[in-house]
């Protein structure tokens, strides 16, 4: 077989490496041997601990493979379940759900970080200026207390509609909406669609200029 053909085979991307695995590698302080074994298992349709096959692919010796596999199980990244097939034969099945959950956790953290970044940018756009450190803390406190980004955004829109751009006013809106049971935009729309006293219904009524607090 010519070198050009071999080079083509080498360039083939036949093993998948999820980028969110990087965070797990750092957090768990995985060795290169543990990583090689883990990548091998992740790329199998039905992961099985076959030392000879792992050795063939990773070029690790059997002792290193056993040591790495034991370490991965002790860290809780992989589990070994013993099951019987329909013929009563006992088989070991590799469970990778823990490593996948760790990667999902990283994805969720990234989404939350992007969400927070987006809402801060939205406030700065509406206010026409950079937020102060205290304002950042207030918005963060809303998010950490479980108030949805959607509700905060709607409160910002309400404040802007009323020509008021300060967080004290928006905090009052969020507080009053909380008493009404509003959790998201749909709750607000449902409230406004109620037939009773529809003409006199307002989302928020507060004269912030008269507030000396």
| Tens of each residue's pLDDT in the chain, 213 residues | 556 654 554 455 566 667 778 888 888 899 999 999 999 998 888 888 889 999 999 999 999 999 999 999 999 889 888 878 788 887 788 888 888 888 777 666 665 655 556 889 889 988 889 989 999 999 999 999 999 988 999 899 888 888 888 899 999 999 999 888 888 888 888 887 776 544 445 555 555 444 544
Supply the DSSP string of 45-95, one letter for each residue.
SS----HHHHHHHH---HHHHHHHHHHHHHTTS-EEEEEE-TTS-EEEEEE
Last residue in a domain, options 99, 114, 141: 99
Say if residue 79 is in the same domain as residue 156. Answer: no
Say if residue 66 is in the same domain as residue 25. Answer: yes
**Domain span holding position 40:** 13-99
Separation CA 96–CA 40 (nearest Å): 12
- CA distances to 11, 13, 52 from 56, rounded to whole Å, are 18, 18, 6
Say if residue 149 is in the same domain as residue 95. Answer: no
120 within a domain of the structure (yes/no): no
Say if residue 95 is in the same domain as residue 167. Answer: no
Last residue in a domain, options 50, 75, 99: 99
117 within a domain of the structure (yes/no): no
pLDDT (0 to 100) of residue 62: 95
119 within a domain of the structure (yes/no): no
Tokens at residue 110, please? 């990234």
pLDDT (0 to 100) of residue 111: 56
Number of domains present in the structure of the chain: 2
Residues 6+ apart with CB under 8 A from 90: 82, 83, 84
pLDDT (0 to 100) of residue 98: 85
Say if residue 37 is in the same domain as residue 87. Answer: yes
State pTM to two decimals.
0.49
């Amino acid at each position: 077989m010519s070198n050009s053909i071999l080079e083509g085979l080498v360039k083939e991307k036949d093993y998948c490496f999820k980028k969110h695995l990087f965070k797990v590698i750092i957090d768990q302080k995985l060795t290169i041997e543990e990583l090689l074994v883990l990548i091998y298992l992740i790329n199998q349709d039905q992961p099985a601990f076959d030392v000879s096959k792992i050795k063939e692919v990773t070029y690790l010796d059997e002792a290193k493979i056993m040591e790495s596999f034991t370490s991965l199980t002790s860290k809780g990244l992989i589990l070994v379940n013993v099951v019987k097939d329909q013929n009563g034969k006992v088989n070991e099945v590799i469970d990778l759900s823990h490593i996948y959950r760790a990667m999902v956790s990283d994805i969720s953290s990234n989404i939350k970080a992007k969400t927070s970044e987006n809402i801060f940018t939205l406030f700065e756009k509406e206010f026409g200026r950079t937020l102060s450190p205290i304002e950042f803390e207030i918005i963060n406190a809303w998010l950490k207390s479980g108030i949805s980004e959607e509700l905060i955004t709607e409160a910002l829109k309400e404040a802007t509609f009323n020509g008021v751009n300060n967080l004290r006013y928006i905090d009052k809106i969020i507080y009053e909406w909380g008493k009404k049971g509003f959790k998201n935009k749909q709750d607000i729309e449902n409230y406004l669609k109620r037939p009773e006293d529809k003409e006199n219904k307002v989302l928020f009524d507060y004269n912030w200029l008269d507030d000396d607090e």
